[in-house]
């Protein structure tokens, strides 16, 4: 966190440490879901012609970041640009 005030960064770390494991998991899952929503919005902005399924395929390709993994997961799907 090079762009964050060190005192604030420490308060933030203390806040995370004070959470129970379940709370950390829940918050992490929410952060992940938010990140995926932002990635979907970016894909839609770059490719307004993509339908919902195409957006999901492009998202999967972006998340996996490896075409071999994508092909293993979805062998018949097109390699859509994220």
- Cα torsion for 22, 24, 30, 35, to the nearest 10°? -150
- Cα torsion for 74, 80, 81, 82, to the nearest 10°? -60
Q: How far apart are CA 58 and CA 45, in angstroms?
A: 12
Please tell me the predicted confidence (pLDDT) of residue 64.
Answer: 95
Q: How far apart are CA 39 and CA 23, in angstroms?
A: 24
Please tell me the predicted confidence (pLDDT) of residue 7.
Answer: 93
Asked whether the beta carbons of 38 and 57 are under 8 A apart, the reply is no
Sequence spans of domains, the chain: 6-73
Please tell me the predicted confidence (pLDDT) of residue 56.
Answer: 97
Intervals of the chain under pLDDT 50: none
Please tell me the predicted confidence (pLDDT) of residue 1.
Answer: 57
Asked whether the beta carbons of 61 and 39 are under 8 A apart, the reply is no
């Amino acid at each position: 966190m090079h762009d964050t005030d060190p005192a604030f960064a420490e308060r933030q770390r203390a806040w995370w440490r004070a959470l129970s494991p379940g709370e950390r998991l829940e918050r992490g899952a929410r952060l992940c879901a938010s990140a995926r929503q932002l990635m979907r919005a970016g894909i839609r902005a770059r490719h307004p012609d993509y339908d919902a399924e195409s957006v999901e395929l492009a998202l999967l390709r972006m998340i996996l970041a490896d075409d071999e993994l994508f092909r293993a997961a979805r062998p018949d799907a097109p390699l859509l640009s994220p």
